[in-house]
Amino acid sequence: MRFLAYDLSLDLIRNLREPLALVRRHDAALAKQGRDALNSVALNLNEGSGRNGGDRQQHFAIAFGSLREVGAVLDIAAAHGWFAEPPFAAERDRLAGMVWSLKRR
C-alpha cells in the first residue's frame, strides 16, 4: 500500500536528480551522500508503513534524519555557491512535516 509521504519522497528523488548531478560535478562524495540519504528516506518510509509499534516509529525517525541530511547536502552546495538557494526547499519542508508527524504517533 502506498501513501502520500512515500510518493512525495519519490517525487523528491526525481526532482533532485539534476541538482545532485551538479553537486557531483563539484564533489562526488557529497552527491553520493545526498543520493544515499534520499534513498534512505523512501526506503524507511515504505518499510515503516508496513510495521507496527516502536519499530514503525524508528523507521520514520530514520527517514526524518535522512531527509535532514539531504537538506544539509543542499545547504552545503548552496554555501559553496553551486546553487543560489538550496533547491526544492518547500517540497522538503512539506515532506519533513509529514514525516515528523508520522514519527510522533
Spell out the domain ranges in the chain.
Answer: 4-104
pTM value? Answer: 0.93
Whether residue 87 has pLDDT greater than 60: yes
Whether residue 1 has pLDDT greater than 60: no
CATH superfamily of 4-104: 23S rRNA-intervening sequence (1.20.1440.60)
Q: Which grid cell sits at 30?
A: 557529497
- Predicted confidence at residue 6, as pLDDT, reads 96
Alpha carbons 52 and 54: distance in angstroms, whole number? 7
- Predicted confidence at residue 97, as pLDDT, reads 95
In Å, how far are 1, 10, 36, 53, 69 from 32, measured between CA atoms?
A: 29, 17, 6, 32, 12
Alpha carbons 62 and 33: distance in angstroms, whole number? 15
Count of all residues that appear for the chain in the document: 105
Q: What are phi and psi of 34, to 5 degrees?
A: -65, -45
Overall average pLDDT of the 47-60 stretch: 88
